[in-house]
Chain A
Amino acid sequence: MSRTGSAWRSQVAIAGYALSPIERHSSRSLGDLAVETGLAAILDAGLRKEDIDGFTTGSHLPSAGGHALVDGLSIVSSNWISERLGIRPRWLSGFQGHGQLPGSVMLAVNALAAGAADYVLLHRALANPAARYHENPMTLASGGSQWTAPNGMWGPVAQIALPYNEYMQRYAATREEMATVVVELRKNAARIPWAYWHDRPITIEDYLNARIIADPISILDCDIPIEGVGAFVLTRAHRARDLPNKPVYLSGFGQGTPSAVGSTRHWTLDEIMESAQVTCDQLWASSGLNVSDVDLPQLYDGFSPFIYFWLEALGYCPIGEAHEFVQGGAIATGGPAPVASGGGALGNGRLHGIPQLLECYLQLSQRAGERQIANANVGLACHSSPHYGGVVLCTADQI
Chain B
Amino acid sequence: MQDNPASDFGDAEGHAHMDNVGRPLPVPDQSSEGFWAAASDHVLAIQHCGHCDNAAHPPVIVCSACLSPDSEFDFRPISGTGRMRTWTVIQDPFLPGFRAEVPYIIADVEFDDVPDVRMVARLTIDGEAPLVIGAPTETTFEDVASGIALPRFRLLRG
Contacts and interface: CB of A to CB of B under 8 A. Distances in A.
A, B: real partners: yes
A320 interface: no
Given A141-B24, A169-B133, A211 B15 contact: no
Contacts of A152: 23, 90, 93, 95, 98, 101, 104, 106, 122
Contact of B15 (A132, A147, A165): A132
A219 B92 CA distance: 10
Interface string A137-176: 1111111111111111111011001110110011000000
A268 B21 CA distance: 31
A151 B58 contact: no
A261 B64 contact: yes
Interface in A93-144: 130-144
Most buried by B among A132, A134, A211, A215: A132
Interface string B1-18: 000000010011101011
A309 to B, nearest CB: 15
B29 to A, nearest CB: 7
Most buried by B among A150, A261, A264: A150
Interface string B83-125: 0011111111111101001011010100000000011111000
B38 interface: no
B106 A158 contact: yes
Contacts, number: 146
Interface residues of A, number: 53
Contacts of B25: 139-141, 150
B156 interface: no
Contacts of B87: 162, 165
Nearest to A64: B94
A266 B120 CA distance: 9
A268 B28 CA distance: 25
A240 interface: no
A141 B122 contact: no
Contact of B32 (A146, A155, A217, A261): A146
Contacts of A269: 86
Contact of A146 (B11, B27, B122): B27
Contact of A140 (B8, B24, B150): B24
A265 interface: yes
Contact of B18 (A137, A212, A215, A224): A137
Nearest to A63: B94
A165 B32 CA distance: 29
B136 to A, nearest CB: 16
A237 to B, nearest CB: 42
B26 A130 contact: no
A148 B17 CA distance: 21
A266 B58 CA distance: 11
A133 B88 CA distance: 20
Given A132-B17, A140-B25, A214-B91, 19 more contacts: A138-B95, A141-B24, A141-B25, A142-B26, A152-B98, A152-B104, A158-B90, A158-B106, A165-B87, A211-B8, A211-B92, A215-B103, A216-B88, A224-B12, A265-B58, A265-B118, A265-B120, A266-B120, A269-B86
Closest 6 CB pairs of A and B: A161-B88, A142-B27, A166-B86, A152-B98, A215-B89, A146-B26
6 contacts: A152-B104, A158-B90, A162-B106, A165-B88, A166-B85, A212-B89
Interface of A: 24, 65, 130-155, 157-158, 161-163, 165-166, 169-170, 211-217, 219, 224, 259, 261, 264-266, 268-269
Interface of B: 8, 11-13, 15, 17-18, 21-29, 32, 56, 58, 60, 64, 85-96, 98, 101, 103-104, 106, 108, 118-122, 132-133, 144, 150
